[in-house]
Amino acid sequence: MAVEQSLILIKPDGLVKSLTGNIISKMSETELKIVGAKIVQVTKELAEEHYHHLREEKFFDELIKYIMGEYHTKRVLAMVYHGENAIKLVRKIVGVTDPERAEPISIRGKYGRVTRAGVFENVVHASENTKEAEREIKLWFRPDELVYTLYPTEIKNVKIDKVFWK
Ligand code: DAT
Ligand code: MG
pTM over 0.95: yes
> 53 catalytic, yes or no?
no
CA-CA-CA-CA torsion for 18, 19, 22, 26, nearest 10 degrees? -160
> Residues 119-159: pLDDT tens digits?
999 999 999 999 999 999 999 999 999 999 999 999 999 99
The CATH number that domain 3-145 falls under is 3.30.70.141
- Going from N- to C-terminal start, the domains of the chain cover 3-145
Ligand 2 centroid from CA 126, angstroms: 7
What's residue 159's pLDDT?
95
Ligand 1 neighbour 140 (Cβ under 6 A): no
> 45 and 140 in contact (C-beta within 8 Å)?
no
Q: Indicate the residue type of 31.
A: E
Average pLDDT over residues 86-112: 98
